[in-house]
Every structure is written in structure tokens, then in C-alpha cells.
Copies of this chain bind each other. A is one copy, B any other.
Amino acid sequence: MKFLIIGSVALDTVQTPFGKIKNALGGSAIYASISASYFTDVKVLGIAGVDFPQKYIKLLKRRGIDASGIEIRNGKTFRWEGKYGWNLNSPQTLATHLNLLAEFNPRLSESDKNSDFILLANNDPDLQLKVISQVPSSKLIAADTIELWIRKKKAKLIKVLEAIDILMINEDEARLLSKETNLVKAAKKIISYGTPKVIIKKGEHGLLYVNKNSFFSCPGYPLETVYDPTGAGDSFAGGFLGFLSSVNTLNEAAYRKALIYGSVMASYNVEGFSLNVLSRLNKRLIEKRYKEFRKLTKF
């Protein structure tokens, strides 16, 4: 397996100024794996309940994703309910029901451990560390996190940062984690915690990628209508790492291309509710927007 994704499988209820969906397919592992499936072989590890519709498992399989790592147990799937205002930035969380996600304890098979890339989607740092302890140190690990863990479990999160290769984090979370308002300083501070590469996601403003030797910055794709920002970060992660695991040489040029592919996937994802747009893309549409990114930024 090329790319292993460990994260949440969810049923989301989301309201934006453009509409509402109820118990729709969601979760970080789902967004990331569907996004990555356009680039590489993907396996997902997650947990869901008997209430998780079979059609969603079928959707993953149709995208060629190995969903055998999604454990279906008696009980309920993780549910998240959120609402976005007109600015479509961070949502207001109306309800979080962890349900079976609270019992998630991923065990990696020998083949899982040999994946080229491993994505630890947002999760309790304790759980992320449990996964890390199972993985050979030579493997490339990327992780995401959220404000909750920065506030509640910063010491454990730092241990995660010592072990991973790439951190993906939002602008505000980067400031909170580093206690630096300036994003360049924030990125350098985060690198000093141990992770050699950090991607600061800035939503409509694009991203800043910093490693020990260089900076890369790309703008957001100028979208006229953002229907539902849910899963943008996970779609980004899936496209970014999916592309990386499809190339032979991991140099700076490959990383930059991958960051644009990630941005392409995130920009498509927010153009529809749930996985509606992301699950119906094709290579041609992805290449089209990649070229538009080039046109948009070329000087």
C-alpha cells in the first residue's frame, strides 16, 4: 500500500448560508482518502457504527480505496454538527458526539507499516503517538491537529512533532501553538519543536510551506462560490500526500507540485456539500485547475 490514512469516519450535519445537509458522509479520513484516490493507492483505518450507510463504503470502493481497515462495530458512528456564517471561516460547532470514535485504537498490519506515506489526520495526540510507535522511523509521517489538542495536550502534541516529518496546521492554530503572531516566526518555532516541514493553511489566502532551507507560498484559488468549507484541510492533505506518494523523487519541486495539487483538491471540495464534488472529479478536471493555478500565479 502506498498511502495509509488514519482518521475519523463521520456523519456530518452542516449548515451554511447556501443550504443544509443532515448525517452526510464526512470525517477526516474520508475527505483525505477520496482526495488521495485520484493520485495513488490508498488504505483507510477508521471506525464506524452499524448506522454507517453501506453506500458510503461502496463509494470508497468505487474510488479504489481499500476500506477494509474501517472497523464496523455495534454502536453509533462519530457525528459532528456545525454551522458556518457568511464569512465561511471557522464553523460554530453545534454538537459533537464521539460515539465509537472514543474507542478507536488503530492497529497497523505489517503491510500498513510499510506504506510510503502515513497521514495521521486530526486526533488526540495520545492516539497519534500510539500509531507512531508502531511505524518504522524511516517512514514518512504527516499529521494534522486542532486547537483543542494545542490547548489541552500541548506536551503530548510536541512529542508527536518530534516524531513526524510534516505538520499541517491552520494559521490560527500555528499562532496558538508557537505563541508567535508572525507566521514566519510561528513556522520556525514549530520546526524547532522537531518536525522538519510545516504547512500553514490559510484558507482563502492559500498556504505557506516552510522547511529548514526555504519558503513556498501559494495563494488560494479565487473561488466565487464556497458552499461548504468542511473537509478542506483533509482534502488538501489527501491531494498533497497522494501526489507525493505517486512520484519517485521527493525533492523540493515535487513538494511544491504536491502543495498545488492539494490546493486544487481543497478548492474543488468546498464547491459542494459533503463529498458531492470531491467524489465526482476526474484527472482532466484536476489537471485543468492545476494549470489555472499556474496561470494565476505566473509572472
Residues of A in contact with B (beta carbons under 8 Å apart): 86-88, 181-185, 188, 202, 204-206, 208, 210, 214-220, 222-226, 253, 256-257, 259-260, 294-299
Q: Which of B204, B217, B222, B298 contacts A219 (CB 8 A)?
A: B217
Q: If A217-B222, A219-B219, A222-B217 touch, does A298 touch B208 (CB 8 Å cutoff)?
A: no
Nearest B residue to A88 via CB reads B181
Closest CB of chain B to A203's CB: distance in Å? 10
Q: If A202-B205, A206-B219 touch, does A295 touch B214 (CB 8 Å cutoff)?
A: yes
Contact indicator B296/A216 (Cβ below 8 Å):
yes
- Between-chain CB contacts (< 8 Å), 27 pairs: A87-B181, A182-B224, A182-B225, A182-B226, A183-B204, A183-B222, A184-B222, A184-B223, A185-B224, A188-B224, A202-B205, A205-B205, A205-B219, A208-B222, A214-B295, A217-B219, A217-B220, A217-B222, A217-B296, A218-B219, A218-B297, A218-B299, A253-B299, A256-B299, A257-B299, A297-B297, A297-B299
Q: If A205-B202, A205-B205, A208-B222 touch, does A296 touch B215 (CB 8 Å cutoff)?
A: yes
Residues of B within 8 A of A220 (CB): 217
Residues of B within 8 A of A256 (CB): 298-299
Nearest B residue to A293 via CB reads B299
Nearest B residue to A299 via CB reads B256
Nearest B residue to A206 via CB reads B219
Residues of B within 8 A of A205 (CB): 202, 205-206, 219
Contact indicator B217/A208 (Cβ below 8 Å):
no
The count of identical subunits is 2
Residues of B within 8 A of A217 (CB): 206, 219-220, 222, 296-297
Q: Which of B214, B225, B259 contacts A299 (CB 8 A)?
A: B259
Residues of B within 8 A of A204 (CB): 183
Cα distance, A210 to B181, chains bound together (Å): 29
Cα distance, A86 to B182, chains bound together (Å): 9
Closest CB of chain B to A253's CB: distance in Å? 7
Closest CB of chain B to A233's CB: distance in Å? 17
Q: If A86-B181, A298-B256, A299-B257 touch, does A222 touch B215 (CB 8 Å cutoff)?
A: yes
Closest CB of chain B to A176's CB: distance in Å? 14
Cα distance, A7 to B260, chains bound together (Å): 40
Closest CB of chain B to A225's CB: distance in Å? 7
Residues of B within 8 A of A224 (CB): 182, 184-185, 188
Closest CB of chain B to A265's CB: distance in Å? 15
Cα distance, A217 to B220, chains bound together (Å): 8
| 6 extra A-B contacts, CB within 8 A, seeds A188-B224, A208-B222, A217-B222 | A86-B181, A182-B223, A184-B224, A214-B295, A217-B296, A218-B219
